[in-house]
Chain A
Amino acid sequence: MINLFIFTSSFLSLLVLISGASKTDYFTSFSPDLPLPTSPSPTFSLIRDSWSTTSNIFFSLFYLYINPERSTTPLLLSSHLSLPHFLSFSSHHIPLSTINPFNHLSSLFSSSSMDRDLFSHIDTDLNSISYLSLNYDHFDSALSSIVSSPSAAPTPPGPNDSLVLRELIGRLGTICNNKSASVGAGDHSANTSCYSTPLSSPPKSSLHPLPNMNPNPNPMPFAPDPGFADRAARMPCFGGGPHMAMSGQLSRVSSSQSLMDAGMTGGVQLEGELPVRENGAGGRGANNGRKRKAGVKGKGKEASLASSGTVNSKISEEDQSAKRCRPDCKAGEKKGGTEEKNGNCSENNNGDRENKNDSDSNNANAKPVEPPKDYIHVRARRGQATDSHSLAERVRREKISERMKLLQDLVPGCNKVTGKAVMLDEIINYVQSLQRQVEFLSMKLATVNTPSDVNMDNLLQKDMQQPLYRSAFSYPNQPQVAPLNSLLATNSIPNLGMQPSSNLPFDGFGNANPQIGGFWEDDLQSVVQMGFGQNQEAALSSQSFQGSGPSSSDMKIEL
C-alpha cells in the first residue's frame, strides 16, 4: 500500500511537471504540496497523499466545471490514478456528487488527446481499475471508457486484459445505450453524443446527413472508438481534400477495432463500408464515359451505378454530384465567378447531401440551360477520374484542341496532318513564311516608294473604297492617275482574287511572287497599249474582294 502511495505521489508530481503552464498554474496555486518529492515518513506521506488526492479531485472538478472542453489529461490521469487511493481508504467518504462528474471526466478523457507514455503507466493499474470498475456501477461508465481508451492504444494490452477489455467494451455499449437519455442532455454534448448514438444502427449512419465535421487538426484518439467509428461511418462523401484524411482515419479505426477484437456491429459495418467505398471509386473509374456539358449520359451513368447497389450508388451519386458541383465551382471561380455562383455551388453541395434526387434534377435542369454567367458546367465522363483537378485539366485540354482546330483551318495544308506536334510545326512554318513575305514585300515597297508621291494617295484607297468604274470621276485633278487606277485595279484584283484560291505551296511562294507580279505587269502594259484597260476594269470591278476571283488562267483569257 505504502509503495503504491509513493508511486502515485511521484507520478502525480511527474504529471504536474509534464503538464502545460496553464494547467500547472492551478495546480501550484491549489496544491503546493505536489511538486515536493516523496516524503520521508510514511505517515506524513499518507496524510499528504490523502490531502493531495482530495485536493486533486476537488480541484479537477472545479477545473472541469470551469473549462469543460479543455484537454485535462494530467488532471484526469491524476484523478483516475488517485481512485485506487479513494477506494482503498473508504468509498463512503466519497460524496456521491463526485461520482457524477466522472461521466464528464470520462468523456473528457476520451475526447482529449492522450499521451501514449501515460498510457503505459496506466496499464499497470489496469487490473486494479478494471477489477474495481466491475464492482461499482457508477464508475462503470467512467472507468470502462477509461479502460477502453488505453486499450485502443497502439500498444495492445496484455492477453490477461483482453477479456476484461472486451467485457468493458460490451458494457460500454450497453451503458452508452442506457445513458443515452441521461447523459446526452446538457453535458459536453459534443463528446457524449458520440457515445449516446446507438451503436447498433450503424447501417443508417452512412445515410445520415453529415454533421458539421470539423476536420480535426489533432487526430482523434482511439479512445472514443465507438463514437469515432460512428462519426467516421457517418461520413459518406469523400471530398477531394478531406478524402485522404478520412480514409486514413477510417483505416485507423478499422485497425484499432481489429486490435480490440470488438464484436461491435459498428466495426463490421465500417469494414463493410470501406470496400464499398473503394468499389464506388473504382466503379466510377472502370466505367467508360465522355465528359460533356449535357446531363444525359451522366444520368445514365447514375442509373447504372444505382443498379449495382443501393449503398454503392448512393455513395457514388453523392460523390459524383459533389464532384459535379466542385468543378462547377472551380470553373466558376476560374472564370471569376460571382458570389451567386459560389452560393449556387454551395447550395448544390448541401442539396446533394440531403436530397440526391433533387440535386440530380437540379443539375440536369441546369445543364441544358446555359447559365447567364460565364462558367461552364463540366461533367466527368465515364471511365475517367472525377477529381476536380483532372476535370479542370480536361477542360483546359479541350480548349487547346479547339484552338488547334481553328488554326488548322487557317493554315493551308493542315487538314491531313494529325497530332499536336506536327500541326504546331506546320503552323510555325506558315507563320515564318508569312513573316518572310512581309519582309520581302516591305523591301519591294521601299524600292518602289521613293519615286512618285502622288500616286500613293489614290492608288489603293480608291481601289478598295469605291467600285472601280467610278474611279475616273473622283479624280478630276489628276487625269493621269485614272488610267493608273484602272491598271492597278486590274493588277491588284487578280492578285487579291488569286491569293485565297491559289494552291501554290508556300515554300516556293516567295519565289513565285515576283514572277506573277511581273507577268501581270507585262500583260497590263500590253493592255494599256491596246487600250483595253477600261474593258478589263469593268469586267473586273464586279469581282471585288470576294475571294472567289478568277484563277490566273481566266485572267489570261480575259486579257
Chain B
Amino acid sequence: MASVPSSSSSSPSQPKTRKKPGQNSSPAPPPQTKWRTGTQERLYSRRLVDALRATRDRTQVQESVGSRAVKEAADSALALTARGQSRWSRAILFGRNSCRRKLLVKAGGKIRRHRRKQHGVPPVAAEPGVLKEQKVKERLRKLGRLVPGCRKLPAATLLEEAADYVAALELQVRTMRALADALSAATVSAPEEEETAAVDPMAIAEQGS
C-alpha cells in the first residue's frame, strides 16, 4: 500500500465529490484515493458509532449484543458511506432492509443456499490454454461470491467492484480496529481515569493554546 491518502485534517467540511452512478469508466476515481481520504474515515466512523449504538440499544433489552448484529451494522454503515454507488453497497443495503428470503420468495425463485460443487467443477480441459481459462473463470466466480451482490457480473465489472470493495473493507477494518481498541482502552482505563480527570483537561487546554 504505497499510495498516500490525501490529507484531510485541514478541511473542516466534508465535501463529497462523488461520481455519478452513470459514469463507470475512467472518470471514476480509483478506489484507493476514494476510500483513503480522511473524510471517508470520519464519515464511516461516525456512521459506525451510530450504528453500534443503535445496535446496543436495540439488543440491550433482549440479550447481549450479537457479533453478527455488530458486523451487519458495520457493513451497513460501510455501504452507506459508499452512498450506493457501487453494486456491492447497494446489495448490502437492500439485502438488509428487506429480508432476502422474502424477496426471493416473492419473486418465485428458489433460494439456493449452497453452490453445488458439481456445477463448480469443470470437466477435463483439452489444452493448457483452456485449463487456464477455466481456472481464471473459477476464480472470478469465487470472487463474485465473496463480493456481495456480484455473483453474476461480467469480469470487468466484477473486478471494478472488487477493487472498490477491497478498499472499503480496508477502511472498515481500520476504523473498527481503532474503535475497538479505543473502546477497550476506555473500558480498561475507565476506572483509572477518574482520578486524573480534573487535572488533564487543564493540561490539555494549556497545551492547546
Residues of A within 8 A of B (CB): 374, 396, 399-400, 403-404, 406-407, 409-412, 420-421, 424-425, 427-428, 430-432, 434-435, 437-439, 441-446, 448-453, 455-457, 459-461, 463-465, 467, 469-473, 475, 479-480, 482-484, 486-488, 491-492, 495-496, 499-501, 513, 517, 520-521, 524-525, 528-529, 531, 533-535, 537-538, 544-548
Contacts and interface: CB of A to CB of B under 8 A. Distances in A.
B132 interface: yes
A444 B135 CA distance: 37
Contacts of A438: 71, 74-75, 169, 172-173, 176
B52 A445 contact: yes
Nearest to A465: B42
Given A449-B65, A464-B46, A524-B189, 9 more contacts: A403-B163, A427-B166, A439-B67, A445-B176, A448-B180, A461-B46, A463-B178, A531-B196, A537-B207
Interface string B24-60: 0100001110001010011001101100110110001
Contact of A400 (B38, B67, B70, B159): B159
A457 B53 contact: yes
B176 A487 contact: no
Contact of A469 (B66, B170, B196, B207): B207
Contacts of A374: 25
Given A427-B162, A428-B139, A469 B204 contact: yes
Contact of B41 (A412, A464, A475, A533): A464
A315 B48 CA distance: 65
The 10 A-B pairs of least Cβ separation, nearest first, read: A403-B159, A424-B139, A442-B71, A472-B204, A488-B182, A469-B208, A464-B42, A443-B67, A441-B176, A434-B169
Interface residues of B, number: 87
A465 B163 CA distance: 27
Nearest to B192: A528
B56 A517 contact: no
A404 B159 CA distance: 7
29 contacts: A403-B159, A409-B32, A410-B163, A410-B170, A412-B1, A420-B139, A427-B166, A431-B147, A432-B146, A434-B172, A442-B68, A445-B176, A446-B70, A448-B183, A452-B190, A455-B183, A456-B53, A461-B45, A461-B46, A465-B42, A479-B197, A479-B198, A480-B193, A484-B186, A488-B185, A491-B178, A521-B188, A528-B193, A548-B4
B40 to A, nearest CB: 10
Nearest to B64: A450
A471 B197 CA distance: 14
Nearest to B165: A431
Nearest to B147: A431
Contact of A445 (B163, B165, B179, B200): B179
B136 interface: yes
Contacts of B174: 495-496, 499
Given A427-B143, A545-B5, A403 B184 contact: no
Interface of B: 1, 3-5, 7-9, 25, 30-32, 36, 38, 41-42, 45-46, 48-49, 52-53, 55-56, 60, 64-71, 74-75, 132, 135-136, 139-140, 142-143, 146-147, 155-156, 159-160, 162-163, 165-167, 169-170, 172-190, 192-194, 196-201, 203-205, 207-208
Contact of B179 (A400, A434, A460, A482): A460
Contacts of A548: 4
Given A434-B166, A459-B186, A491 B193 contact: no
Contact of B52 (A406, A449, A483, A500): A449
Contact of A407 (B45, B56, B162, B204): B162
A407 B163 contact: yes
A120 to B, nearest CB: 49
Given A446-B70, A488-B186, A483 B56 contact: no
A350 B193 CA distance: 83
B41 A545 contact: yes
A197 B207 CA distance: 100
